[in-house]
Structure 1
């Protein structure tokens, strides 16, 4: 049954789940849903003279968050380049009140490069608070330095992808701090009460500029952070994560096993359908086709890397689960004669959680060829894939 976005927001709230994951194509309405959900959780009351900030009940990351950060390119001098931060309380809180600048930098460099270092120069401004002029410490801008060898270049302009990662790192660090504070169930025992009333966190597509390797890592990190968020007997923060990226969605599904999962669709009338997506027999969601496409492209373009073994193992595990095999390695029984044990060890080596993103040697040319052997074994010997292609 089709619904308005307002009705979808009410449906999500009524579900009363700790985590809800939503896959939707770009342009469906994910970002608008974040605003509608905000109004559902923390509606404005025109009769309230001093309303509490909405962020105390509803915290969200979306395109609207990115709009708070605007480049000043110094078009005249072309030297003093920086990002200006529109005045907002959540950046002031994470930097001024919680002193998290170093953690923001660490999170940013983790997904980009250690050679780029952001800084947040403070500035004192005078504001009127409760009828009195008061000096307030703010953080109105971000500057970037590039270190290459012995050279340091200040006030550089970073790429759009790096900029998006920086904004996500600010939000992610804030979320880490909020979750850490709320691990103490008694608000009177916390050293900060800014987010005591937080009910929902809505995260819309933090992965638009990440390569697939870092995308998997971010999904695992985010899932781990959400899992660590205290939630007991229905008491705690609830999370909604939306994305257009099939790989990101499925890694989250795998890591957050108790999460509700949906596909958001918009019909020709402009209304919406929130379709539950539970279990491995999810034929209408073409995750397996997406992985096959990624692997085929890597093979054809001689671009096989370490993380492709992660994708390949994910594909084997999903197929084994769907077909009722007790373990993914059972599917190697149809591999070329005498190679099953070797292919199992090779896949385990490159896809092991503790090794996947650490210093593991790049695959040799022979091992890259083995990726094609593994993929062909799966496609040629298990009709599930071909049936899936025929059924769309």
Structure 2
């Protein structure tokens, strides 16, 4: 399937919702800054309906993105520096089942996979069942968390630990929804955008495996969309879901504000391979811009790390007219460190295009990449 262009993110979100060839799972890889979070926002907005006063009365998407994390904010007690807790925005439908007595127990089961701290959720519930207040206090020691002394304290967990807690909070909501909770009966879609921005690679693999395990435990369920800029996380999802998932690579279009999705279903995908395939097409078409040298150097850096070389420069071989690799190294350095932005693209001069083609062809020739990916 050829790449498809979209005039804006709203049109792309509508396409993903109405895709006639849709599978239950859709995976989207994109570089940071491409518009993943905005896409998730456009997607959930298409499923919302408001009344005449602007209050949302219908929705269909349970989502996790930067806005979800913003539902949690710290109270750091700057006066006494003692009572630190995470405050939850109780106005969100996301917290619909928080008053359930099993909610914290469910979170704790999930959290134990990733972290060694504990917590307590303090809530105030109105007589009509409406949640009025929700606060999370964290503890490091395995003591009785209901004790008065500890209740007055609480620790400030790290940013990564905070993100893990919020992620486990979200997974608890997902599990309740999959179990048929009435509080989440409105969910038709789940949209997850980059849940692992502060996690190391070990936890990235664990999160991906656990997420797939949870979502595939039931044969039927809402359609699931997952977008990420993390290549390892994306590849684990691809491998775990296999043919159950449709896979896309999201890129900025040629014109400002436009977008392109490349269907990579049925193909292996790695960040550096996709970059090389893209550069191969560009060097053939002649649409080469100065920032493409930066992209090529980035792949060389990754290749050098993989093979245990001292520097990306070791990925460049000398030629008869450049026996010391001086020309190649100089042009790559100059183009990589200059003020060349992908957002203000400048086309290369013809001489630099010729150099780029020589360096590119040499690089993919001397390293054992599959030549079928780079037809001449």
Instruction: Give a deviation string over 1:262-301, Cα, whole Å, max 9, x none.
Output: 11111351211111112235585259998x9499479789
Report the Cα offset of residue 387 of structure 1: 5.2
Instruction: Tell me if structure 1 keeps the 8 A contact 2:123–2:131.
Output: yes
The answer to whether structure 1 residue 10 and structure 2 residue 14 are counterparts is: yes
Q: Distance in 2 between matches of 1:173 and 1:296?
A: 38
Residue matched to 2:30: 24
Would you identify which runs of 4 or more consecutive aligned residues in structure 1 move more than 6 Å? Answer: 287-290, 297-301, 388-391
Structure 1 residue 60 corresponds to structure 2 residue 63: yes
User: Could you give the per-residue CA deviations for residues 206-251 of structure 1, whole angstroms, max 9, x where no partner exists?
Assistant: 01111111111110111122222442xxxx4101000000010111
Query: Does 2:112 match 1:105?
Result: no
What is the deviation of 1:78? Answer: 0.5
Contact 1:20 1:240 in 2 (8 A): yes
How far did residue 120 of structure 1 move? 0.2
- Offset of 1:27 from its aligned partner? 1.1
Q: Structure 2 CA distance, aligned partners of 1:12 and 1:136?
A: 34
Q: Distance in 1 between matches of 2:276 and 2:112?
A: 30
**Alpha-carbon offset, residue 32 of structure 1:** 0.8
Change (3 A) 1:84 1:2: same
Q: Is the 8 A contact 1:72 1:83 kept in 2?
A: yes
1:222 corresponds to? 211
* TM-score, scaled relative to structure 2: 0.66
Counterpart residue number, 1:251: 236
Is the alpha carbon distance of 1:271 and 1:91 closer, same or farther for their aligned partners in structure 2, counting shifts above 3 Å?
closer
Distance 1:14 1:106 in 2: 36
SS in 2 for 1:201: strand
Aligned-residue CA RMSD (Å): 3.7
Asked if 1:200 is matched to 2:189, the reply is yes
- The 1:135/1:224 distance shift into structure 2, 3 A limit, reads closer
| Separation in structure 2 between the aligned mates of residue 12 and residue 264 of structure 1, nearest angstrom | 12
1:319-342 per-residue CA deviation (whole Å, 9 max, x = no partner) reads: xxxxxxxxxxxxxxxxxxxxxxxx
Mapping 1:208-357, distance limit 5 Å: 208-231=197-220, 236-257=221-242, 258-267=244-253, 268-280=255-267, 282=269, 284-285=273-274, 293=302, 296=305
Q: What SS class does the counterpart of residue 184 from structure 2 fall into?
A: coil
Q: Structure 1 residues 98, 44: CA separation in 2 closer, same or farther (over 3 Å shift)?
A: farther
- Contact 2:50/2:57 (8 A) holds in 1: no
Q: Mind listing any 5+ residue stretches in structure 1 that lack a counterpart?
A: 127-133, 182-191, 302-381
CA distance in 1, matches of 2:201, 2:35: 24
- Aligned-pair CA distance for 1:80: 0.7
Q: Which residue of the other structure, out of 76, 81, 86, is the alignment partner of 2:84? A: 81
2:176 maps to 177
Q: Given the alignment of the two structures, is residue 96 of structure 1 paired with residue 99 of structure 2, yes or no?
A: yes
Counterpart Cα distance in 2 of 1:286 and 1:157: 40
Q: TM-score normalised to the size of structure 1?
A: 0.64
CA 1:98/1:60 → structure 2, altered by over 3 Å: closer, same or farther? farther
